[in-house]
């Protein structure tokens, strides 16, 4: 992280090169989206929520730290196998305390936007900030509905952080049609609605991940969901008591995407990924890989804590290009950079349609993917909100030096590409990989990948 409040560390370069087929089993860390929500909804429950499998990456730890600063007791113990078990002592809906310092959310857009929703129903002021990447991201998309509900905010430079949020105990329930398909905005409004008297409704014309709805329902919130001609209407009746829950967090499909694509593009690979979340609103990447000809099987489909899960086996094969329709974007919004690695190895021209949202992620991902693929000798161009990638029908040249721009998924995607290219791929800085996939390089090496990073050096 490069923000002033965190210890400064030096950029950590990394390299990946093709060596041999990947094989074996990899345990992918817990789902980032579900982990944030387990902490936040656990914080609002009356009683103690227990979460197993929680992602212990920097993004989720930032949420835990912010909640602790507002009076929530959060502790971590370990089970007999040494895995983390998190206990969240909820303070009840509307029961947070004013934080005595700025809330630093590091690299995490989900932490920042969902916390705005949580803060909306609290009669105090909190100031939110983050690292260089997060402070450049738009917050106007959550400020707009929360302002309608009566929240006062003040922000830098047209809706960027630092952002001060002053909530109110007299929130107005609203009906809000999402102008962008964003689960973060939907969740912020629903979390605010939980604190408002009466019914708050969010309408989404394109379905986005529904972990907030699933967990709210699991914890006893009054939620109605109807599919209409105008889209999906989600209505929450505010000011109930939430029940504490036992939450088993599945492996993150967005993290499983990296070993999955690596297995699909490195010839001869055969990789097994147990207990991966299979929420239909999250698995667009796997559907797309199968459409490209990848050999993926889903074994033992089951449910844990209201979320579908399966064990995935991925075997390498030859891939064909694909046109990914805009309608699929919400179900794989974080997976385009790693899909670009697969497209670079495929036969034919792949097109990603309707991917303008990628410009406002942890970095401008369209620009980063375009620059990175070009540096690896792959023909690629963007046309407004479309990206076109000319596949190499086999190993791309590689050899690129990639700027990760504080973006964990750009760093991991190009490391994956480097496992299949003729020449090694280097990344200037992989520090942010710790936000979502702690131990990524070790996990990939465990599958036989030739990947390495410089050791971490603290400068202050």
Site for ligand S3P, rule CB under 6 A: 33, 110, 182-184, 187, 209, 333-334
Question: For this structure, is 393 an active site residue?
Answer: no
Half-sphere exposure of 402 (CA within 13 A, CB side): 36
Beta carbon of residue 270, minimum distance to ligand S3P (angstroms, whole number)? 29
Nearer to ligand S3P, 182 or 321 (CB): 182
The residues, any chain, with a CB within 8 Å of residue 405's CB and separated by 6 or more, are 133, 362, 363, 364, 368
Do the beta carbons of residue 258 and residue 451 sit within 8 Å? no
Beta carbon of residue 124, minimum distance to ligand S3P (angstroms, whole number)? 25
User: What's the CA gap between 336 and 435, in Å, rounded?
Assistant: 18
DSSP string, 102-137: -EE-TT-HHHHHHHHHHHHTSSSEEEEE--HHHHTS
From the list 431, 451, 432, the residue with the least C-alpha distance to 441 is: 451
The region, left, alpha or beta by phi > 0 then psi within -120 to 50, assigned to residue 305 is left
User: What's the CA gap between 119 and 40, in Å, rounded?
Assistant: 11
Nearer to ligand S3P, 212 or 443 (CB): 212
User: What's the CA gap between 284 and 278, in Å, rounded?
Assistant: 10
Nearer to ligand S3P, 19 or 359 (CB): 359
Nearer to ligand S3P, 42 or 400 (CB): 42
Q: Which of 334, 364, 407, 429 is catalytic?
A: 334
Nearer to ligand S3P, 404 or 447 (CB): 404
SS (H, E, C) 367-433: HHHHHHHHHCCCCEEEECCEEEEECCCCCCCECCEECCCCCHHHHHHHHHHHCCCCECEEECCCHHH
* Residue 204: strand, helix, or coil: strand
Do the beta carbons of residue 84 and residue 76 sit within 8 Å? yes
* Residue 153: strand, helix, or coil: strand
What are 264's two structure tokens?
A: 């699909």
Nearer to ligand S3P, 91 or 112 (CB): 112
Token pair 């960027």 is found at 160
User: What's the CA gap between 303 and 275, in Å, rounded?
Assistant: 10
From the list 236, 233, 266, the residue with the least C-alpha distance to 173 is: 236
Beta carbon of residue 362, minimum distance to ligand S3P (angstroms, whole number)? 8
Beta carbon of residue 366, minimum distance to ligand S3P (angstroms, whole number)? 14
Nearer to ligand S3P, 153 or 184 (CB): 184
Nearer to ligand S3P, 29 or 395 (CB): 29
Phi and psi, residue 87, nearest 5°: -120, 125
* Host H or E run for residue 337: helix 336-345
Half-sphere exposure of 206 (CA within 13 A, CB side): 16
User: What's the CA gap between 151 and 192, in Å, rounded?
Assistant: 10
Nearer to ligand S3P, 362 or 429 (CB): 362
Do the beta carbons of residue 452 and residue 13 sit within 8 Å? no
The residues, any chain, with a CB within 8 Å of residue 290's CB and separated by 6 or more, are 296
Residues catalogued as catalytic: 334
């Amino acid at each position: 992280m490069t923000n002033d409040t965190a210890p400064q560390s030096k950029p950590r370069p990394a390299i990946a090169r093709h060596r041999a087929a990947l094989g074996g089993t990899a345990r992918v860390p817990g789902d980032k989206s579900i982990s944030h929500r387990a902490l936040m909804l656990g914080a609002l429950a009356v009683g103690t929520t227990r979460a197993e499998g929680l992602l212990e990456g920097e993004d989720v730890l930032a949420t835990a730290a912010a909640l602790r600063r507002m009076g929530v007791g959060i502790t971590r113990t370990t089970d007999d196998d040494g895995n983390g078990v998190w206990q969240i002592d909820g303070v009840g809906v509307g029961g947070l305390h004013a934080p005595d310092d700025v809330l630093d959310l590091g690299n995490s857009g989900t932490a920042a936007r969902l916390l705005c929703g949580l803060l909306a129903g609290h009669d105090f002021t909190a100031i939110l900030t983050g690292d260089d990447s997060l402070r450049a991201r738009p917050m106007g998309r959550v400020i707009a509905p929360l302002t309608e509900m009566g929240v006062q905010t003040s922000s830098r430079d047209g809706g960027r952080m630092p952002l001060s949020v002053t909530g109110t105990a007299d929130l107005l329930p609203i009906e809000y049609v999402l102008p962008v398909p964003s689960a973060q905005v939907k969740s912020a409004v629903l979390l605010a609605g939980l604190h408002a008297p009466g019914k708050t409704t969010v309408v989404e014309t394109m379905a986005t991940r529904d972990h907030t709805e699933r967990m709210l329902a699991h914890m006893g919130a009054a939620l109605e969901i109807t599919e209409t001609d105008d889209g999906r209407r989600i209505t929450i009746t505010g000011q109930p008591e939430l029940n504490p829950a036992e939450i088993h967090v599945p492996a993150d499909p967005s993290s499983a995407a990296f070993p999955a694509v690596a297995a699909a593009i490195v010839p001869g690979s055969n990789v097994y990924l147990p207990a991966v979340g299979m929420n239909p609103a999250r698995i667009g990447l796997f559907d797309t890989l199968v459409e490209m000809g990848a050999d993926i099987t889903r074994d033992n489909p089951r449910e844990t804590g209201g979320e579908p899960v399966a064990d995935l086996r991925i075997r390498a094969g030859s891939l064909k290009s694909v046109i990914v329709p805009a309608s699929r974007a919400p179900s794989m919004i974080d997976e385009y950079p790693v899909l670009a690695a697969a497209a670079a190895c495929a036969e034919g021209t792949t097109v990603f349609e309707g991917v303008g949202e990628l410009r406002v992620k942890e970095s401008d991902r369209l620009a980063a993917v375009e620059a990175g693929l070009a540096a690896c000798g792959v023909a690629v161009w963007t046309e407004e909100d479309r990206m076109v990638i000319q596949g190499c029908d086999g190993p791309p040249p590689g050899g690129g030096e990639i700027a990760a721009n504080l973006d964990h998924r750009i760093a991991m995607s190009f490391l994956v590409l480097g496992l299949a290219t003729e020449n090694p791929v280097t990344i200037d800085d992989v520090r942010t990989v710790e936000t979502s996939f702690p131990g990524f390089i070790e996990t990939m090496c465990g599958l036989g990948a030739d990947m390495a990073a410089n050791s971490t050096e603290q400068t202050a």
